[in-house]
Chains A and B, each alone.
Chain A
């Protein structure tokens, strides 16, 4: 059981570039989430999904897009990277909303 895996671990982007952060879970969880964590700011929810084909916005969705075509995968897309998107991104999954399992994170820097 690998749990929640995220790729890449690190990435540096130039302003205006785009990229996709990958997230996969092998626990057959229906719920999946994307958070960003800035220093001293806690976790902020970007998008979440309650099942394949269903996604919804969280607290800070602007500048991001998601899709959920399978139970296992929940990629996060950044279309036009901006310095404000420099952060650590965590994907999580859960059977119920509360007991969430987190991936190891992706550290993104936008220069």
Chain B
């Protein structure tokens, strides 16, 4: 079993839809969870950062962590064509261990 699993997509949705992106993981020591957004031919940029379980909201984006199920989600409300990108989840056990990345989910929002 891979340490972090992420459905690669592609995922195509109409503008205005609610998007749900997910990752599962096997290492119960993971405590720090991140979502990065990567536009085509660009470097990843940090979108959301959460610690331990719970929800975090930032504008149209909500990150959710369920440590009991080893499952994290990113929700995008009122999706826009500008949200079209690859979304990578990343996680680490402590502040001093390397990040482990998912393979990324490619999202297209169609106008």
List residues of chain A with CB under 8 Å of any chain B CB: 4, 33, 40-43, 45, 48, 58-59, 90, 92, 96-105
Question: How distant is B85 from chain A, measured CB to nearest CB, in Å?
Answer: 13
Q: Which of A98, A102, A105 contacts B92 (CB 8 A)?
A: A98
Residues from 1 to 55 in B contacting A, C-beta threshold 8 Å? 6, 8, 32, 34, 36, 41-46, 49
Q: Which of A90, A100, A105 contacts B99 (CB 8 A)?
A: A100
Question: How distant is A54 from chain B, measured CB to nearest CB, in Å?
Answer: 13
Chain A residue at minimal CB-CB distance from B43: A102
User: In whole angstroms, how far apart are the Cα atoms of A92 and B88 in the complex?
Assistant: 15
User: In whole angstroms, how far apart are the Cα atoms of A42 and B87 in the complex?
Assistant: 10
What is the size category of the interface that chain B forms with chain A?
A: 20 to 34
Please indicate the chain A residues that have their CB under 8 angstroms from the CB of B98 in the complex: 33, 45, 48, 58-59, 97
Task: Say yes or no for B97: interface residue by CB 8 A criterion.
Answer: yes
Q: Mark B78-111, 1 if CB is under 8 A from A, else 0.
A: 0000000000100010011111011110000000
**Chain A contact surface mostly:** loop
By Cβ-Cβ distance, the 7 closest A-B pairs, closest first, are A102-B43, A42-B103, A43-B101, A42-B101, A98-B32, A102-B44, A104-B43
Question: How distant is B21 from chain A, measured CB to nearest CB, in Å?
Answer: 14
Question: How distant is A13 from chain B, measured CB to nearest CB, in Å?
Answer: 20
User: In whole angstroms, how far apart are the Cα atoms of A85 and B3 in the complex?
Assistant: 24
Q: Would A102 and B103 count as touching, CB distance under 8 A? A: no
List residues of chain B with CB under 8 Å of any chain A CB: 6, 8, 32, 34, 36, 41-46, 49, 88, 92, 95-99, 101-104
User: In whole angstroms, how far apart are the Cα atoms of A39 and B58 in the complex?
Assistant: 29
User: Are A99 and B103 also in contact (CB < 8 A) when A58-B98, A104-B42, A105-B43 are?
Assistant: no
Chain A residue at minimal CB-CB distance from B31: A98
Q: Would B95 and A96 count as touching, CB distance under 8 A? A: yes
Q: Would B42 and A105 count as touching, CB distance under 8 A? A: yes
Question: How distant is A17 from chain B, measured CB to nearest CB, in Å?
Answer: 24
